Structure 1
C-alpha cells in the first residue's frame, strides 16, 4: 500500500520504520517520521508480523494521513527478525540516503533535513552518518544525551579493532550504495548498526554528526538487561550465539573483500571461534569437547563458559552479591 506526494527538487531520502509488537508507542513514532521537515521523503513502514494490534494502528494512521510525504506500508506474513525485516523494508525503498527508525523511538522533526544537508555539504562522500540520541524512559521522560563514538576518528579497520565503536542504529543514516556494495543484510542479523558501521569504516566513509536527532526509548526490543543469575546468562548467550556467529562471519567476508590486514582478520576469526565455543558448550551439550577443542579461543574464556555449562551452581554466590548491588534484594 503506497500513499504518495513528493517534492523532487531535492534528493530522495527514505526512512525505514521497523515495528514489532509496539502498539503502545507506534503512533508517536509515526507522528515523528510524518512530521519531518525535509521535503522529498518516503517513509517505509515494515511490520514484522506483530500480534498486538500494531499493524492496525499503522494502517489507520496512514489512511488518515494527508501530509507531503510518501508512505509505503508492509506487513510480513511471518516474523523475519531484525535483519529480515530491515532487508524487506530496504527492498521497498528508493532513497539515496536511508534513515533507520524504531517503532518505539521518536525522531526530531529536523532529523532528515539536518543529515541530508550535511551529506550534501560534504559532497555526498560519506556512506554512513551517525548522530547522538536523547535518552528517554518508557514513559517519555528525557534522561540526558547519549553520545555515540566519533566515527571520523576511524581511518581504517585497524582503528576499529583497536577500539570497536559504540554505535546505535536508531540514529544512523546510510547510503544505498553502501548497502548494495556488500549485498545487504541477511535474515538472522540482529546488530545491523554494528555491521553497517564496520562496512562504512572499511571504505573510509563513516562520520559522526554530533547532534542528537532521536529520542531513544529505554526498554525496547534490543534493550540489554543485566543478568542476575547464571541461568539468565546461559539463556542470553544461547539466544544470541547463532546471530553473533552469523554477524562475525559476515564481517570476515566484508573485511576480506575490503583488503583488511591480517590483524583485522585474526581478530574477527577469534570472535567467530568464540561463538562456536559457546554453541558447542551450551547448545550442543559438548562442553568437554569445546574446552579442549577450541584452542584458538582464550583458555580463561573457555573455562568461564565451561562453568556455566557444567556447574552453574558454583556461580550462585557471585550472583547473590550482584543482585544485592543492583536491586537491593538477594
Structure 2
C-alpha cells in the first residue's frame, strides 16, 4: 500500500560519510532556508570521524529553531554502503511532494528551496530541477567562481543524449513521484551514480528537466572529495573542462 505525498513539503536528503569539518556549515545553510515547509533526512554512512555525533549534537543545539520544521530524521547505517545506497535510503524515507539533494560539504543559498519549489509549481511538466552554482576553495567561502559547464532548456537533453553532463547533482530538486517511478541511484557506474540518476530521469523528447540560472548553491572544493577517488579531481573541476 502506498501513501500520498505531503503537498508542498520538501524532503531534504543529506548523506554523510566522514564530513566532520563541513557538516555543521551545511546544516546551518538548511536551517537558514526561507521556505518554511521542509523535513531533513540525514543518512550517516557509517562515519568513523565523529560526523554522526556532531549531527546529533547540532540537532540538540537547535531543537527550538527546528520546531517549525516538518520533521528531522537521522539514520546511521550499520555498514558503509557507498553513496548510492545511502542517498537512496534517504529517498525511501522522504514523504514530501519534492525531494532535494544537499551534499554534506556544500552550502545552499537561503532562497534555494523557495525558488525551486516556485518554479516546479509554475512548470508542472518539469520533474527535476537543478540550479546554477559557484565554487569556492575550502577555507575561502567569500572567493567564489562561477560554474561554466551547465546547460539550459533543450540543450540539456541533447547533452545527456551525447553522453555529457550538465546538471550539478547537489543542486537538484525533483518530484517525489519521479523517484516513485524510476527508483533511486544504482551502482552501475561507480563514482558517477549522480550522473546515471539524472540521465535516467530524462524523458526523450519530453524536456522534463531544467536548470535555474540563479546561483543557489555553493560547491566546496577540498582534497577529501569523493570524486577525487575516481577522477583525481573534484566534480566541479572535471565538469568545467
Spell out the pairing of 1:216-231 with structure 2 (5 A cutoff). 216-219=219-222, 220-224=224-228
Report if the CA contact (8 A) 1:99-1:173 is conserved: yes
Specify the alignment match of 1:61 in structure 2. 58
Spell out the pairing of 1:86-125 with structure 2 (5 A cutoff). 86-122=87-123, 124-125=124-125
Q: C-alpha separation between the residues in 1 aligned to 2:22 and 2:183?
A: 32
Specify the alignment match of 1:215 in structure 2. 218
The question of 1:206 aligning with 2:209 is answered yes
Alignment partner of 2:48 out of 41, 46, 51: 51
Query: After superposition, what is the alpha-carbon deviation per residue over 1:229-275, rounded to whole angstroms, capped at 9, x for unaligned?
Result: xxxxxxx58x9xxxxxxxxxxxxxxxxxxxxxxxxxxxxxxxxxxxx
Deviation at 1:104, TM superposition (A): 0.8
Spell out the pairing of 1:1-330 with structure 2 (5 A cutoff). 11-65=8-62, 66-67=64-65, 68-69=68-69, 70-122=71-123, 124-141=124-141, 142-154=143-155, 160-162=160-162, 164-187=164-187, 190-202=191-203, 204=206, 205-219=208-222, 220-224=224-228, 236=230
Taking a change above 3 Å as real, the CA distance of residues 49 and 218 of structure 1, as seen in their structure-2 partners, is: same
Q: C-alpha separation between the residues in 1 aligned to 2:161 and 2:122?
A: 30
Report if the CA contact (8 A) 2:191-2:227 is conserved: no
Deviation at 1:184, TM superposition (A): 2.2
Aligned length: 218
Q: What SS is found at the alignment partner of 1:109? A: coil
Deviation at 1:159, TM superposition (A): 5.5
Q: C-alpha separation between the residues in 2 aligned to 1:185 and 1:200?
A: 11
The list of structure 1 runs, each at least 4 consecutive aligned residues, that deviate by more than 3 angstroms after superposition, is: 186-190
Specify the alignment match of 2:237 in structure 1. none
TM-score (normalizing by structure 2): 0.82
Q: C-alpha separation between the residues in 1 aligned to 2:149 and 2:41?
A: 25
Q: Which has the higher strand share?
A: 2
Report if the CA contact (8 A) 1:129-1:173 is conserved: yes
Q: C-alpha separation between the residues in 2 aligned to 1:197 and 1:147?
A: 19
In structure 1, runs of 5+ residues without a counterpart are 1-7, 226-235, 240-330
Taking a change above 3 Å as real, the CA distance of residues 21 and 55 of structure 1, as seen in their structure-2 partners, is: same
Deviation at 1:25, TM superposition (A): 0.9
Deviation at 1:148, TM superposition (A): 4.4
Q: C-alpha separation between the residues in 2 aligned to 1:143 and 1:155?
A: 24
Report if the CA contact (8 A) 1:45-1:73 is conserved: yes
CA RMSD of aligned residues (A): 2.3
Q: C-alpha separation between the residues in 2 aligned to 1:176 and 1:190?
A: 24
Q: Which has the higher helix share?
A: 1
Report if the CA contact (8 A) 2:187-2:193 is conserved: no
Q: What SS is found at the alignment partner of 1:202? A: coil
Q: C-alpha separation between the residues in 2 aligned to 1:102 and 1:170?
A: 6
TM-score (normalizing by structure 1): 0.61
